[in-house]
Amino acid sequence: MNLNLKEIKKYYDREGYFIYKGFLKKNELSQIRSSLSDYISIKQNEGSSRNINFASKKQINSVHNMTDWKWIKKFQKNEDLLRVVKKLINDEIREFGAELFAKPAKVGLKAPLHQDNYYWCINDASALTVWIALEDSDLRNGGVYYYKKSHGLGLLEHKRSYAPGSSQTLKYPESMKHFKKTTPKLKAGDCIIHHCLVVHGSEANKSPRSRTGCTLRYISANSKIDKFLKMRYEADLKKHLKSLKK
């Protein structure tokens, strides 16, 4: 694919995200969806845990470690994507996991406003998410929204959200009134690459269309986990998980 890396980086550095259209080929999508549906049926039987959250009794909303799905490895090997990610991180890169946000029709849960790095605790915030639309995603079915340029603020304070699967949310959401909100409209196979500090979230899916997306996470090969931030996050997560059991 003919990608203008310089232009992509310029846009991403300015806005905090970049929309990469046509990452997956149309003819691959039906194979991918059928494999995902098999994967989800297996995970459904595992029941709810720190790794898996349900939107209803039977429907998975999110899986927080899905590196065991065979397509993740294929996506991670995509040469065009790797060139873009290396350019954006501006360094050698390391894989940092993969997630599923299945967001089923009618009952899909919201992801409260957050910055990914509050969860990841990367010391220099040299990290990003590739959010891959496996179905069309937009404002109506709970597409991911962004506050443009908000990554420029650095790491913001968060508090417990009490939302299953997304334990943290911005402590001062009103600060976002200074930023322009956008919900990119994606076709299945498009993806968004977002900076780990850009503020984003998604609304509940009340529509009759499911909105499945999966993510790949990358960090700079030279980044480290900030132990203090990680301890603080893990302590909060423990309280969050305890509160969900009550």
The answer to whether 144 contacts ligand AKG (rule: CB under 6 A) is yes
15 or 45, CB closer to ligand AKG? 15
Q: How far apart are the first and last CA of the chain?
A: 51
Residue number, 15 or 116, with CB nearest to ligand AKG: 116
For residues 208 and 82, give the distance between their C-alpha atoms in angstroms, rounded to a whole number: 34
- Site membership for ligand AKG, residue 210 (CB under 6 A): no
* CA-to-CA separations, 68 to 54, 74, 103, 214, in angstroms, rounded: 19, 12, 20, 13
**Residue among 126, 210, 215, 223 that touches ligand AKG (CB under 6 A):** 215
**Nearest distance in Å: CB 20, ligand AKG:** 14
Minimum gap (Å) between residue 118 Cβ and ligand AKG? 11
CB closer to ligand AKG, 12 vs 101: 101
Q: How far is the CB of 103 from ligand AKG (least distance, A)?
A: 6
Q: Is 24 helix (H, G, I), strand (E, B) or coil?
A: coil
CA atoms within 13 A on the CB side of 41: 5
Q: Report if residue 116 touches ligand AKG, rule: CB under 6 A.
A: yes
**209 Cβ contact list (under 8 Å, min separation 6):** 105, 135, 136, 140, 141
Of 168, 69, 67, 53, nearest in space to 101 by CA: 53
Q: Does 213 bind ligand AKG (CB under 6 A)?
A: yes
Closest contact distance (angstroms) between CB of 195 and ligand AKG is 11
Q: Which two tokens stand for residue 173?
A: 């959401």
Q: Which residues bind ligand AKG (CB under 6 A)?
A: 101, 103, 111, 116, 129, 131, 144, 200, 202, 213, 215
